Structure 1
Amino acid sequence: MIRFFDLSLKLNGFPIKEAQTEFNAILCFSPEEHLKFIEQKKSEILNYHLQNNSYYRNFVGKSEVKNWNDIPVMTKKDFQKPLSERLSKDFTEKSVFKNKTSGSSGDPFIFAKDKYAHAITWASIIYRFGWYGIDFNKSYQARFYGIPLDFISYTKERLKDFLGQRYRFTIFDLSDEILEKVLRKFKQKKFDYINGYTSSIVLFAKFLQKKNIILTDVCPTLKVCMVTSEMLFEEDKTLMERQFGISVVNEYGASELDLIAFQNLDGEWQVNSETLFVEILDENNQPVPNGTEGKVVITSLYNKAHPFIRYDIGDIGILDEKSTLNSPILKKLIGRTNDIAILPSGKKSPGLTFYYVTKSIIEDDGNVKEFIIKQTKIDTFEIDYVSETELTSTQIDKIKQAIDLYLESGLYFTFNRRESLQRTTRGKLKQFQSLL
């Protein structure tokens, strides 16, 4: 059998075989060897960029750093300048893998990976998907992702999908009429797994619930569903597992890095400690003890083309108390740093708190398909929602009572029923947004 996926990587100049050999060797390290490996790779990548990347050397302000915790933290805003100015010596825009972040955090930028770094990223993804019996060379993917709509980019993505054993459902319109067509494809094709944005796949599960259909009854080849890019709520996971008839696996990644954490077979969010070094830092950029929340800051251990060293990805998370350097476990991902609501009392609350509170009440009867919350003033919020029928005054009162209880009283809410919700250009749904 022709291994199309491996072949497409190879033809594009990504040395996948060499990368897999190295990745598999890392997996065989003892805890002591792994500890030594991480320290060595951190030192190597730091010194490489200090010596070969003038942009990074200027950013750090010196050509040598003795203490890892003294290295300044990078943010997305540090990368909003031409890519050519950020590349290391000996790399050009033509010799690297180039892509753009989704911009769901509000700060999109173009990034680069050298070809070996991109190949070892794929080795990491292939390994983790393999836990669930998925082989990219032969497993057929039902893909719920955005797609560029201009002809050349659209055709390119479709070709990549074909070579990558994927069928893509575009997610910019997920009306019942479109979801009916999606369901038809599941009846016609032998999909092995589902992969894509959480909010879109949840909508499909709600559509199946309404029609009283279990997906494996119409597509018995399905094994598993991987969701990514947006928060996965426990009740959504339960709904999806019930309507799909398969396990739902939670993935946390960033296109500019790699898979950051992936749910293992024990249901834990296992952090990638083979190609990345993940830290949780406080406001002074110092490491916090495991079990304490802080900023998720990541170092890409292999990317020589472009520095991602102590890079603040914009998320707040907690590492499990039982984490070790060679086997870190992400206990909780709380949300994005720019999704914090500041209330009249001065209290700071993650935007997801509102989402949890309203979600439990709004979705009791399955009437509301999806909703987003916007903070427009210090004490004023708008909730845009898509539903079969308008919210009743009883439901609105219940939401207000819950918000008084969980957050604080004296907040004002307006509820707007919409035909559809605005997504990012990639098709992501930004669930909470502060406009302050």
Structure 2
Amino acid sequence: MIGSSIYRLQEHLLHRPTFAYLHELERSQWLSRPEIEQLQLQKLQGLLNVAAQHCPWHAARIQAAGLDLSCPLTLASLRKLPTMDKADAAANRDQLVWHGAPGGTFRYNTGGSSGKPLIFFYGRQRQASDAAGRMRARRWWGVEPGEREVYLWGAPVELNKTDRIKTLRDRLVNQMVLNAFDMSPVRMDTYIQAIQSWQPRCLYGYASSVALLAAHAKERNMRFKLPKLRVVCTTGEPLFPHQRSLIQEVFGVPVANEFGSRDIGFTAHETPHGQMLLISESILLEVHDPQGQPVKPGEAGEAVISGLCSEAQPFIRYRTGDMVRMSEEPCRDGRGLHVISEVVGRSTDFLVKSDGTIMHALAGIYVLRAIEGVAEFKLIQHELRDLEVLVVRNTSWRKEALRNIEIELKERMGEDVNIRIQLVDNIAPEASGKHRYVVSHVSLAGGLGIATSDGAAN
């Protein structure tokens, strides 16, 4: 397969051990649960040794906890080490990054799901873990690396030279990227035609964006004929049951949800049996109650994650803010991987341009998270041409940031939109206790609204 060969060549040239790690994962998933848990502890012990040698902040905490790394690690001894959170990662980044990690380190930032973007670094091993873990999960659904995929994903306002090169690269490895930030009715018509012509094996995208495209197709009585399509994979936000039903109805194949985050990476994926399996070889997941104590299987708690491939900037016992439930049920196909029975994530809204174009919430988030000096933010679209922006500043804030925010948001939303920026000391959570970084009070036309609601009214 040409796409697979080019993909392998790309990973080799970038010194990413993606396919070697995929080979490991294909073998290790069939280990017993105790064997996988032993593998986790061995990997975590190696990560702790890296952290002790190259990351002063971690080294100080390991020493203060009295953790003896010369002895085999156990979960009991691991719990001597305090947890860390996003604030710790942000405040101590220079003391956390191992710039000498094999293959180099690469700067990245989170999407700001709580309104607090985090700048962090990752390395080649973490990249390989994400890609290989996702490829293995695709194989559970009959999709091989290099087979045709469509990504309904974010894209910049205008393509520069680098973006055009990436677009060419995507096509060479059989990936078509459609812009989730520009979903006007006319554009969605072209997306439907493009997907029909491309005949993908897999469709992957933000849950709400895929549901929106499905709602658009259903409203126009447009039917896909995709005999090669095996699965629609959703990510980035909760997948509500009514969205799952809508997507399955329109595309005619099952929907598999993915769980992960930018800072931790690809974490878990749904199987054809409806089970969410942890990528246990790369992630050690603890579930804690509000007092920081482990909960019993089946009880909800906060996901505290150790990224076993996060050598470049170790995330060890990292409080993610996501609420999950673990299951004692084994994988129904016989794998030793851990089973997550429920993930409670954060929902997003769409932003709507004055011309009716619908954009994923990340279109606005990408603007705010790129502005120097923004500590927290929230966008509230009150009406079609009325966008309020709440900003909590940090010490890097400069006065010109106000103008930059307005310019960038108008480039996304349209010059006729009134941008009202409010500088505040803090941003309160919703009544539910969740932090929503984009809230829109603009109703979507016709049957499209079902794609973005939580289904409570149905």
2:414 corresponds in structure 1 to: none
- Which of the residues 115, 134, 143 maps onto 2:151? 143
User: 1:22–1:317: structure 2 CA closer, same or farther, 3 Å change rule?
Assistant: same
Matched position secondary structure for 2:145? coil
Q: Within 5 Å, give how 1:265-414 maps onto structure 2.
A: 265-322=272-329, 326-336=336-346
> Could you tell me whether the CA contact under 8 Å between 1:50 and 1:63 is conserved in 2?
no
User: 1:199–1:384: structure 2 CA closer, same or farther, 3 Å change rule?
Assistant: farther
Cα distance between partner residues in 1 of 2:106 and 2:263 = 10
After TM superposition, give the deviation of residue 159 of structure 1 in Å: 3.7
2:50 corresponds in structure 1 to: 48
* Letter of the 2:227 counterpart: P
> Could you tell me whether the CA contact under 8 Å between 2:29 and 2:337 is conserved in 1?
no
> Could you tell me whether the CA contact under 8 Å between 1:262 and 1:270 is conserved in 2?
yes
> Could you tell me whether the CA contact under 8 Å between 1:371 and 1:384 is conserved in 2?
no
1:426 corresponds in structure 2 to: none
TM-score by length of 2: 0.69
After TM superposition, give the deviation of residue 35 of structure 1 in Å: 2.7
Cα distance between partner residues in 2 of 1:430 and 1:309 = 35
1:397 corresponds in structure 2 to: none
What is the aligned residue count? 356
After TM superposition, give the deviation of residue 100 of structure 1 in Å: 2.2
1:177 aligns to 2:186 (yes or no): yes
> Could you tell me whether the CA contact under 8 Å between 1:55 and 1:86 is conserved in 2?
yes
After TM superposition, give the deviation of residue 179 of structure 1 in Å: 0.9
1:222 aligns to 2:229 (yes or no): yes
> Could you tell me whether the CA contact under 8 Å between 1:192 and 1:221 is conserved in 2?
yes
State the Cα deviation string for residues 376-410 of structure 1 (Å, max 9, x = none). xxxxxx99699xxxxxxxxxxxxxxxxxxxx9xxx
User: 1:285–1:323: structure 2 CA closer, same or farther, 3 Å change rule?
Assistant: farther
Cα distance between partner residues in 2 of 1:131 and 1:160 = 25
1:80 corresponds in structure 2 to: 90
* Letter of the 2:237 counterpart: E
* Letter of the 1:180 counterpart: D
Cα distance between partner residues in 2 of 1:117 and 1:238 = 33
Matched position secondary structure for 2:64? coil
- Which of the residues 12, 15, 22 maps onto 2:14? 12
Matched position secondary structure for 1:80? helix
* Letter of the 1:282 counterpart: D
> Could you tell me whether the CA contact under 8 Å between 2:99 and 2:105 is conserved in 1?
no
Q: Give ranges in structure 2 of 5+ residues lacking alignment.
A: 69-76, 350-357, 362-379, 385-431, 433-438, 446-451
TM-score by length of 1: 0.73
Q: Give ranges in structure 1 of 5+ residues lacking alignment.
A: 337-350, 356-368, 373-381, 387-406, 408-413, 421-428, 432-436
> Could you tell me whether the CA contact under 8 Å between 1:209 and 1:243 is conserved in 2?
yes
After TM superposition, give the deviation of residue 16 of structure 1 in Å: 2.7
1:209 aligns to 2:218 (yes or no): yes
Name the stretch that deviates more: 173-182 or 225-234: 173-182
Cα distance between partner residues in 2 of 1:262 and 1:371 = 22
After TM superposition, give the deviation of residue 52 of structure 1 in Å: 2.3
After TM superposition, give the deviation of residue 34 of structure 1 in Å: 2.0
State the Cα deviation string for residues 117-176 of structure 1 (Å, max 9, x = none). 322332222111111111232x11111110133524533542442243211111122121
Cα RMSD for the two superposed structures: 3.3
Cα distance between partner residues in 2 of 1:321 and 1:133 = 26
2:136 corresponds in structure 1 to: 127
Matched position secondary structure for 1:169? strand
Identity of aligned residues (%): 24
After TM superposition, give the deviation of residue 103 of structure 1 in Å: 1.8
Cα distance between partner residues in 1 of 2:336 and 2:80 = 23
Cα distance between partner residues in 1 of 2:105 and 2:307 = 15
After TM superposition, give the deviation of residue 51 of structure 1 in Å: 2.7
| Higher RCO structure, 1 or 2 (CA under 8 Å, sep 6+) | 2
